């Protein structure tokens, strides 16, 4: 996948931060050890000057081999003394080596002349953040969802109240997000406008992202507009690959986008590609199954309704209820 220059810079800056943190932690450990035992600092200085001693022996002439052997023996003696002093403190020289987040590449982003998986992961996360940049993912939590806005009266059609139904939906989605792993069951959040689908979608996105998963959240209209602009050359980017490759894709408000052969084809390619790759997708929509069928066709609809776990949202439009509360509050 092609990544922009600023994505590379962002990823490399994070690796540099990790390296600096590892070196600072190692230096702090070494400083504490030498403060407890000043002789360690003297030994380190002597060992650091060994190369200078060898170079001087070569320049001075004489028996270079004998001089090198003598310096080698002195170094071995110093190393043994250091090991003994550290052992008394319950430490070894290895304890003062930097502990990198990625031991394979030592937080450089490259190993064996090839890009390391840690850098690939950072680049994927940067691409996901670009696509999700307009969402308020970090501001939305499950705990902020007020079930008091849902009616507590029994629904004669289902035998339970909208509040009880939504309590079950919320608990299910919270557990789904907390336990999320790539490849988890895909979800279909369906219900009327204003019943909390977007709130729950954002909360799932936030929780999964905090676990270190690559997450793309976006209203279907926004993501499809991005794909359309890139496809027809109105802007640069490779969002299609990001949408297919991220650990979790959340398409919010599916059905609100302008419908065209291009958008219908995009939705099918996204849903089908991710299903075949075993990647998780969450779709929220106000559309019924018949409306999905009429808009996207049988191939797309059957993949969504046949493989996604359906969760039904019910109740009144919470946005309207909150607006009415605000109006009443202003009048009083």
- Strand 280-285 and strand 309-312: the pairing is unpaired
**What pTM, to 2 d.p., does this model score?**
0.67
310 beta partners:
188
Would you state the structure tokens that stand for residue 288, as one six-digit string? 């019924």
Burial state string for 239-271 with b = 16 or more CB within 10 A and e = fewer than 16: bbebbbbbbbbbbbbbbebeeeeebbebbbebb
Give the span between the Cα atoms of 181 and 49, in whole angstroms. 52
Three-state SS at 103: coil
pLDDT tens sequence for the chain (332 residues): 456 677 788 899 999 999 999 999 988 888 887 788 888 778 878 877 777 776 777 677 667 777 778 878 888 888 888 778 777 777 777 677 899 999 999 999 999 999 998 998 888 777 667 656 656 656 688 998 999 999 898 888 888 899 999 999 999 999 999 999 999 999 999 999 999 999 999 999 888 888 878 888 889 998 999 899 888 878 776 788 888 888 999 999 999 998 999 999 999 999 999 999 999 999 999 999 999 999 999 999 999 999 999 999 988 888 888 888 778 777 66
**Are 159 and 44 a contacting pair, CB within 8 Å?**
no
Domain at 132-325: CATH code: 3.40.50.300
CA angle 191–192–193, rounded 5-degree value: 125
Three-state SS at 250: strand
Task: Compute φ and ψ for 217, nearest 5 degrees.
Answer: -120, 140
Contacts of 255 (CB under 8 A, 6+ apart): 220, 285, 286, 287, 291, 292, 295
- Strand 248-254 and strand 114-115: the pairing is unpaired
188 beta partners:
283, 310
Domain chopping of the chain, boundaries: 5-110, 132-325
């Amino acid at each position: 996948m092609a990544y922009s220059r600023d994505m590379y810079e962002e990823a490399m800056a994070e690796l540099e931060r990790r390296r600096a943190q590892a070196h600072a932690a190692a230096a702090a450990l070494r400083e504490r050890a030498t403060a407890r035992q000043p002789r360690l600092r003297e030994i380190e200085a002597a060992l650091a000057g060994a190369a200078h001693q060898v170079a001087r022996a070569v320049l001075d002439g004489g028996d270079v081999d004998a001089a090198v052997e003598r310096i080698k023996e002195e170094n071995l003696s110093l190393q043994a003394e250091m090991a003994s002093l550290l052992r008394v403190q319950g430490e070894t020289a290895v304890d003062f080596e930097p502990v990198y987040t990625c031991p394979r590449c030592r937080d450089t982003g490259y190993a064996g002349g090839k890009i390391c998986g840690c850098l690939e992961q950072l680049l994927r996360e940067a691409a996901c953040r670009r696509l999700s940049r307009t969402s308020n993912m970090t501001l939305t939590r499950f705990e902020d969802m007020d079930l008091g806005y849902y009616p507590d009266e029994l629904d004669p059609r289902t035998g339970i109240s909208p509040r009880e139904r939504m309590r079950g939906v919320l608990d299910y989605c919270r557990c789904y997000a907390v336990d999320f792993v790539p490849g988890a069951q895909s979800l279909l959040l369906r219900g009327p406008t204003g019943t909390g689908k977007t709130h729950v979608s954002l909360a799932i996105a936030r929780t999964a992202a905090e676990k270190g998963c690559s997450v793309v959240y976006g209203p279907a209209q926004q993501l499809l507009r991005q794909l359309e602009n890139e496809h027809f050359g109105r802007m640069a980017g490779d969002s299609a690959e990001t949408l297919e490759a991220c650990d979790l894709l959340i398409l919010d408000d599916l059905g609100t986008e302008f419908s065209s052969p291009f958008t219908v084809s995009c939705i099918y390619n996204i849903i089908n590609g991710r299903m075949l790759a075993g990647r998780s997708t969450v779709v929220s929509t106000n559309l019924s199954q018949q409306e999905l069928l009429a808009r996207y066709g049988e191939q797309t609809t059957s993949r969504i309704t046949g493989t996604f776990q359906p969760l039904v949202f019910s109740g009144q439009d919470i946005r309207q209820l909150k607006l009415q509360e605000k109006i009443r509050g202003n009048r009083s």
